[in-house]
Amino acid sequence: MRIIYAVAGVAAALSLASCQRTAYNDASYSSAAPAPLTAQPVPSVQGGTLPPPAGASQFPAAPTATTAPGAGAPGAAAVASNAMDVTKESMVGSWRVNGSCDMFLTLTNLGSGSRGGTRGCTGELTTMGSWEVSGKQVVLKDRSGNAIGSVYKTADNRFSGQTNSGQAINLSR
C-alpha cells in the first residue's frame, strides 16, 4: 500500500512541476512606446502639364464589331473556319490551359457572360473573370467585361485560340 501512495505522490509532484507560471520580470522588458521620430525637411513639389507623346492619340482605336479577339493572328482564320459547333453547357467545368495552368468555367451569370477564372496562368489570362459563347467561338473576358481573347473548338475536349496580345491558348481536358 505504501508503494501506491509513493507512486501517487511522485505523479502528483511531477504534474505540478510541469505547471509553472512564467512572467516577464526582466527590467529590460518594457511596454513603453518608442520615442517619436524627428521630422525631416521635404523639398518643394513642382507641378505642370506634360506634352502629349509624339504621334500618339489620347485614346487607342476602338475595335470593330467584325473583329474577334485574336482574329488578326496568323492561322486564326483557318482555325475559325474549321471550328466545330460549341454549346455553353459543354464548356462548363475545369480546363487545362497550355498544359501549365487551370481555367474554371461556370454557368453563374456575371454581366453579359458567365463567371470564370484561372489559377496559375500568366499574362492576360490572369485577368479573366467571365466568358461567353458567340457563334463557334468562346470569348474570354476580364473582370470588367472586356474581351481578352477567344478560342475555337478544334476537337472533342480541345480548343485553340489566343489572347488579344497574341498569347496562345490551348484548352484541353
Tell me whether residue 51 is in a domain: no
Average pLDDT for 15-21: 59
Average pLDDT for 120-132: 93
- Report phi then psi at 31, rounded to 5: -100, 15
Q: What is residue 18's predicted lDDT score, i.e. its pLDDT?
A: 58
Distance in angstroms (rounded) separating the CA atoms of residues 137 and 153: 7
Does residue 115 have a pLDDT over 90? yes
Q: What is residue 25's predicted lDDT score, i.e. its pLDDT?
A: 55
| Average pLDDT score over the chain | 79
Distance in angstroms (rounded) separating the CA atoms of residues 114 and 117: 10
Tell me whether residue 84 is in a domain: yes
Q: What is residue 69's predicted lDDT score, i.e. its pLDDT?
A: 47
**162 close to 147: Cβ distance less than 8 angstroms:** no
Q: Residue 127 maps to which CATH number?
A: 2.40.128.10
Q: What total of structural domains would you count in the chain?
A: 1
Range(s) of the domain holding residue 140: 76-172
What is the grid cell recorded at 173?
481536358
Tell me whether residue 168 is in a domain: yes
| Least trusted range by pLDDT, from 43-47, 97-101, 117-121, 146-150 | 43-47
80-89 pLDDT, tens digit each: 778 888 999 9
Q: What is residue 65's predicted lDDT score, i.e. its pLDDT?
A: 41
Tell me whether residue 102 is in a domain: yes
Tell me whether residue 110 is in a domain: yes
Tell me whether residue 4 is in a domain: no
Q: What is residue 68's predicted lDDT score, i.e. its pLDDT?
A: 47
Does residue 142 have a pLDDT over 50? yes
Tell me whether residue 26 is in a domain: no
Tell me whether residue 71 is in a domain: no
Average pLDDT for 107-112: 84
Nearest to 162 by CA among 71, 100, 92, 96: 71
**Phi-psi region at 120: left, alpha or beta (left = phi > 0; alpha = psi -120 to 50):** left
